[in-house]
């Protein structure tokens, strides 16, 4: 496995572990479900979770999240040693879309990028889909575990 794959897997386990500690049942899909890394359930229902993990300065090429029963978790291992807990950022689909619309406003208006119905930035002149997310862009979403409970209602 590559370092990138191991970082991704570590992030998924961190998210599942933290959710279980907070009283939710969290099950890793281990890539058996498209755009779903963890399934979270409680008596109220279930949500699909996508996890993006990083050790560097940004989360590259994020394709985001869509659908009312979904959450996007960013796990930040940058600067953490093995004894430290990573930072977690939680976004709902509408928040992800708003982030893209604000960050890419000029590029959308000029036609350099299109945000599709699944909230994926498509760059027509390139063979690239996604957006590089930096922690400062999502700082208001840091440790917002309340969104899990809200999403299950």
Confidence (pLDDT) at 120: 92
When the pLDDT of each residue in the chain is averaged and rounded to a whole number, the result is 93
Angle at Cα 32 formed by Cα 75 and Cα 47, nearest 5°? 60
The domain limits of the chain are 3-93+131-152
Find the Cα–Cα–Cα–Cα dihedral 68, 52, 98, 91, rounded to 10°: 50
pLDDT digits (tens, 9 = 90+) for 109-120: 998 999 999 999
d(CA 109, CA 101): 10
**Residues 70, 93: contact at Cβ < 8 Å?**
yes
The band of 31, judged by pLDDT with boundaries at 50, 70 and 90, is confident
Architecture of domain 3-93+131-152: 3-Layer(aba) Sandwich (3.40)
pLDDT tens digits along 43-86: 879 999 999 999 999 999 999 889 889 999 999 999 999 999 99
How many C-beta atoms surround the C-beta of residue 55 within 10 A?
16
């Amino acid at each position: 496995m590559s370092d990138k794959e191991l970082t991704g897997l570590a992030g998924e386990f961190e998210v599942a572990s933290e959710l279980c500690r907070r009283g939710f049942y969290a099950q890793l899909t281990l890539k058996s479900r498209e755009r779903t890394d963890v399934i979270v359930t409680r008596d109220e229902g279930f949500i699909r979770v996508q996890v993006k993990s990083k050790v560097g300065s940004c989360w590259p090429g994020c394709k985001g999240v869509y659908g009312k029963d979904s959450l996007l978790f960013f796990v930040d291992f940058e600067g953490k040693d093995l004894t430290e807990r990573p930072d977690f950022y939680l976004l709902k689909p509408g928040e992800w879309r708003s982030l893209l619309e604000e960050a890419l406003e000029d590029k959308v208006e000029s036609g350099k990028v299109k945000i599709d119905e699944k909230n994926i930035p498509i760059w027509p002149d390139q063979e690239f889909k996604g957006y590089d997310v930096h922690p400062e862009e999502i700082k208001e979403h840091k440790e917002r575990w309340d969104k899990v409970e809200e999403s299950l209602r």
